[in-house]
């Protein structure tokens, strides 16, 4: 879909807000129709912000406080089927509680935007950031993106609606936001005008898939082995198309708002000439970028690449960004117990993506920052030194390291 661009309307407004509040601003601008809330930290500050917007008359939407996350996700799923633009979200075990509803939503080809305020899964109890909650849906047909700043959260929420509701896609999109680091940290955010957003984001139109008495269709009948494989294949094709639609959306976003002109899929930081590269997603970029600058001052050719979309996985971009390095360290804020090399989720994704390159970098797995533990400058230096040694010797002594663990 292409969007005619007009000269910019009213100027952006600057606000000092958290990542969750920035997403709430995006929801106001997207004029969502139905939103369901259930309390769990840290994602739920977005629902508090939405409630205020509604109470103050800044947003007109059905605000439903559900009785569980399962109800929460089922309610918006059905609202989306009758043509409503919907928002939902959760964190940690809340996201897991809703898993049945979450799993069927992409299979039904129902667009939805959800925020996952990343949180460790109990037990033992922990509020802090860990990515295993959101990662549970990586195989199911959800588009998955991780954001790094409150500004990126706002922009990405608008882009997510545009892509998810594109009739070529009709898939849900989850936005991963690191608990506390992003959900709760306040920064200056440019909030665009409604006119600009209206230029960018068309109304949600389900066309002949709409559930309405004027269009009496049957949705999700029993298909069994007769049809389920063809239907799965259609989901696969939609996910493949998502790549191009995301690129299109970023291009238009840049034209209209003047932001997000870079590569939509990966952010490269001092990585073009780097011998060793740290790779990760979300707010990890803050300590890693500082560390990279420090190491560069000391003459080490270190760089950082941040993954922005995990689904669809940007294989060519990842190959391009990492292919020239001698060693890549994948920093996972998650675990995948018993997986190849005892590495974690991103590590195995990246290693697989690089496999077809004629000349591949060594890939090392770092498990770091679990349960909200801070990724410190020292940890960044430690990981970089391991990589520099691998680059120098050409040998991998150990494929996987847990970084910053006591005892």
Partner 1 sequence: MTKALTVLPTQNLEPFKGVKKIALEEYFTSGHRTCQGCESALVMKLMAKAAGPRTVILGATGCMYVANTTYYSTSWVVPWMHTQLGAAGSAAVGTAAGLKALMRKNRIKQEPINVIAFCGDGGGADMGLSSISAALTYPEYNFLILMYDNESYANTDIQLSSMTPYGANTTFSPPGKARRILHKRWKKNVAGMLAAGHPECRYVATVDASYALEMMNRVRKALTIGGPTFIHSLDPCPKGWDYDPIQSHDLGELAVETGVWPLFEVEDGVLKFYGKSKSIAQGRKRKPVREYLLRQGRFAHFTDEDIEYFQKKIDQMWERWLIPGAVCIAMSDDIKKALAKSEVELATAN
Binding site for partner 1 (CB under 8 A): 31, 33-34, 60-62, 64, 66-68, 70-71, 74-84, 86, 100-101, 104, 203, 211-213, 215-223, 226-227
Closest contact distance (angstroms) between CB of 160 and partner 1 is 19
Identify the CA nearest to 120 among candidates 40, 230, 52, 226. Answer: 40
Give the contacts of 10 (CB within 8 A, at least 6 positions apart). Answer: 193, 195, 196
Closest contact distance (angstroms) between CB of 45 and partner 1 is 23
Nearer to partner 1, 73 or 313 (CB): 73
Nearer to partner 1, 33 or 130 (CB): 33
Nearer to partner 1, 201 or 391 (CB): 201
Residue 346 is given by DSSP the state: H
Q: Which helix (H) or strand (E) segment is 314 a member of?
A: none
* Rounded Cα gap, residues 95 and 140, in angstroms: 14
Closest contact distance (angstroms) between CB of 28 and partner 1 is 14
Nearer to partner 1, 85 or 333 (CB): 85
Q: Which helix (H) or strand (E) segment is 285 a member of?
A: helix 285-297
* Torsion region of 372: left, alpha or beta (phi above 0 gives left; psi -120 to 50 gives alpha): left
* Rounded Cα gap, residues 87 and 115, in angstroms: 8
Identify the CA nearest to 334 among candidates 373, 387, 289. Answer: 373
Closest contact distance (angstroms) between CB of 36 and partner 1 is 8
Nearer to partner 1, 112 or 350 (CB): 112
Closest contact distance (angstroms) between CB of 151 and partner 1 is 28
> In the numeric block, which tokens belong to residue 308?
């922005």
Residue with tokens 């769990």: 40
Give the contacts of 376 (CB within 8 A, at least 6 positions apart). Answer: 287, 404
Closest contact distance (angstroms) between CB of 162 and partner 1 is 18
DSSP per-residue codes, 321-339: HHTT-SEEEEEESS--TT-
Nearer to partner 1, 10 or 223 (CB): 223
Nearer to partner 1, 59 or 295 (CB): 59
> In the numeric block, which tokens belong to residue 67?
């009785």
Closest contact distance (angstroms) between CB of 213 and partner 1 is 5
* Rounded Cα gap, residues 173 and 159, in angstroms: 10
Closest contact distance (angstroms) between CB of 397 and partner 1 is 49
Nearer to partner 1, 213 or 338 (CB): 213
* Rounded Cα gap, residues 216 and 138, in angstroms: 33
């Amino acid at each position: 879909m292409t969007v005619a661009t007009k000269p910019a309307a009213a100027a952006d407004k600057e606000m000092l807000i958290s990542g969750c509040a920035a997403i709430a601003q995006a929801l106001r601008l997207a004029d969502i129709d139905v939103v369901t809330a259930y309390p769990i930290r840290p994602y739920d500050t977005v629902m508090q912000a939405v409630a205020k917007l509604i109470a103050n008359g800044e947003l007109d939407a059905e605000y439903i406080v559900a009785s569980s996350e399962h109800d929460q996700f089922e309610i918006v799923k059905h609202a989306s089927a009758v043509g409503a633009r919907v928002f939902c979200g959760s964190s940690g075990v809340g996201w897991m509680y809703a898993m049945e509803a979450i799993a069927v939503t992409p299979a039904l080809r129902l667009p939805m935007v959800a925020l996952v305020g990343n949180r460790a899964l109990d037990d033992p109890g922990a509020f802090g950031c860990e990515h295993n909650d959101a990662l549970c849906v990586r195989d199911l047909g959800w588009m998955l993106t991780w954001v790094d700043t409150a500004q990126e959260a706002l922009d990405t929420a608008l882009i997510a609606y545009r892509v998810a509701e594109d009739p070529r896609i009709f898939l849900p999109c989850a936005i991963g936001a690191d608990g506390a680091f992003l959900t709760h940290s306040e920064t200056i955010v440019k909030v665009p005008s409604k006119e600009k957003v209206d230029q960018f984001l068309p109304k949600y139109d389900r066309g002949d898939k709409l559930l309405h008495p004027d269009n009496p269709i049957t949705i999700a009948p029993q298909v069994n082995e007769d049809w389920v494989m063809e239907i799965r294949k259609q989901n696969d094709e939609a996910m493949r198309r998502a790549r191009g639609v995301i690129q299109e959306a970023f291009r238009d976003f840049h034209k209209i708002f003047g932001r997000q002109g870079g590569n939509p899929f990966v952010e490269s930081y001092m990585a073009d000439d780097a011998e060793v590269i740290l790779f990760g997603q979300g707010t990890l970029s803050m300590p890693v970028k500082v560390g990279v600058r420090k190491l560069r001052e000391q003459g080490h050719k270190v760089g950082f690449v941040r993954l922005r979309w995990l689904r669809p996985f940007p294989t060519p971009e990842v190959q391009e960004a990492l292919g020239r390095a001698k060693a890549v360290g994948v920093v996972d804020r998650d675990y995948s117990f018993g997986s190849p090399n005892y590495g974690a989720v991103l590590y195995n994704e990246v290693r697989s993506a690089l496999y077809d390159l004629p000349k591949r970098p060594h890939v090392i797995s770092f498990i770091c920052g679990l349960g909200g533990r801070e990724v410190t400058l020292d940890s960044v230096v430690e990981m970089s030194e391991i990589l520099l040694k691998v680059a120098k010797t050409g040998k991998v002594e150990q494929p996987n390291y847990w970084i910053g663990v006591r005892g």
